[in-house]
Chains A and B, each alone.
Chain A
Amino acid sequence: MKMKEIFITSAFTENSVWRQILGICSALAVTNLMQNSLIMGLGVIFTLAFANLTISIIRNWTPRSVRMMVQTLIIAAYVIIVDIFLKANLPVISKQLGPYVGLIITNCILMGRAEAFASQNKPLDSFIDGIGAGVGYTLVLLLISFVRELFGFGTIFGFPVFGSWWTKWSIMVMAPSAFFILAMLIWYINTTFYKAKV
């Protein structure tokens, strides 16, 4: 498979969130502000790409019985790097994301890609696949948070879009709206792009 093909497949046509319904937890939790979503997305891209690369490099020496544990520990190691980096450089955002940075470890996308792709493919391909899946995930996060921040705060990336006349929709800041918007997104994508398959 070509690099470009791998990237497109894992980022769009087989997107983890809307096709496989993985990684929903954090997709819903951090999407009240676009800034948080972007940082979270970048963290996931980094972790996915390097965890995939590492898992792929050692795939032939990993005994099958302890495979899951090894993968989890590799993922955890990269997540710790992301966490320390955020704490040192972006302390405010790190505080807002709270436990959700650590929860990247149990994000099903990570295990999903490690199992489905990295444990059977060459390192470079796995690296590209990780970036692709991460970009697809970030895209979903940004889409959801765009709607939530726009209506909930009247801003985009913190810049005011609507004037002071805008009445903030407090429902958009609260939990239920995240469920609704993700459901709408899945509905729209399924009926528009996957008509033949559904």
Chain B
Amino acid sequence: MDISAFVLFWAAIFTSNILLTNFLGMCSYLSVSREIESSAGLGVAVIFVLTVTSALNWLVYNYILLPFDIVYLQYIVFIIVIAAFVQFLELLIERYAPALYYTLGIFLPLITVNCAIFGVSLFMIIRNYNFLQSIAFGAGSGIGWLLAIMMLAGIRRKLKEKMVPQGLQGAGISLIITGIMAMGFVGFSGIVQIQ
């Protein structure tokens, strides 16, 4: 693909938002968005982990899996890379930045099972991105995810005093709001097309 990394970065945020058009990372999106502060914390952690793991997985795929012809192991290898990196990051933050650990630390275990992280790695392989494109795509997707969860968290805070039909409370109304947000993002879709 000969799309510049810069364009890809913006496309990942707006025209093909990881959450609103590819539906990835829904589980933690729905459960964490009750609180704005937690949403921001998790969002920042996702941006960081996404950027680094997409770079790591690109290197692993192109310099280990391809030369040794073990591409069919990619799922297991990617999962291990992500889990190991998150574990490593947790230790590192705990040791050198205890203050950050208390705000970010509790979100790190949640990230290993966030499908957005794994999904971005898979998209990057399927679409044949080069190294720079992968980093841009990872960072853009992370920022897009943060944007989506912050918007939902803000709306849900306003919604607390409003009357919502009983059966729709919680997940139901969040999904409808997300649908409306997704419709808004469809408006960006003509600008640039990445599959």
Decide if A108 is an interface residue (CB 8 Å cutoff).
yes
Decide if B182 is an interface residue (CB 8 Å cutoff).
yes
Pairwise interchain contact A183-B113, C-beta atoms closer than 8 A = no
Chain A residue with minimal CB distance to B123? A99
Decide if A6 is an interface residue (CB 8 Å cutoff).
no
Interface size on A, residues (CB 8 A): 43
Pairwise interchain contact B25-A25, C-beta atoms closer than 8 A = yes
Nearest-CB distance from A46 to chain B (Å)?
A: 15
Bound form: Cα–Cα A111–B28 in Å: 14
Residues of A within 8 A of B83 (CB): 69, 72
With A186-B175, A190-B172 as given contacts, are A25 and B76 in contact (CB-CB < 8 Å)?
A: no
In the complex, chain A residues 156-194 whose Cβ is within 8 Å of any chain B Cβ: 174-180, 182-183, 186-191, 194
Pairwise interchain contact B172-A183, C-beta atoms closer than 8 A = yes
Nearest-CB distance from B94 to chain A (Å)?
A: 17
Bound form: Cα–Cα A177–B175 in Å: 10
Chain A CB within 10 Å — which of B113, B126, B179 has the most? Answer: B179
Pairwise interchain contact B175-A183, C-beta atoms closer than 8 A = yes
Pairwise interchain contact B72-A25, C-beta atoms closer than 8 A = no
Pairwise interchain contact A102-B168, C-beta atoms closer than 8 A = no
In the complex, chain B residues 159-195 whose Cβ is within 8 Å of any chain A Cβ: 165-173, 175-176, 178-180, 182-183, 186
Pairwise interchain contact A105-B118, C-beta atoms closer than 8 A = yes
Chain A residue with minimal CB distance to B30? A21
Size class of B's contact patch? 35 or more
Nearest-CB distance from B179 to chain A (Å)?
A: 3
Nearest-CB distance from B142 to chain A (Å)?
A: 16
Pick from B26, B79, B123: contact of A25, CB under 8 Å: B26
- B-to-A contact residues, CB < 8 Å: 20-27, 30-31, 72-76, 79-80, 83, 113-115, 117-119, 122-123, 126, 165-173, 175-176, 178-180, 182-183, 186
- A-to-B contact residues, CB < 8 Å: 21-26, 28-29, 69, 72-73, 76-77, 79-80, 83-84, 98-99, 102-103, 105-108, 111, 174-180, 182-183, 186-191, 194, 198
14 inter-chain pairs at a CB distance below 8 angstroms, sorted by A residue, are A25-B23, A26-B23, A72-B83, A73-B76, A73-B80, A99-B123, A107-B115, A177-B179, A179-B175, A183-B168, A183-B173, A187-B167, A190-B166, A191-B166
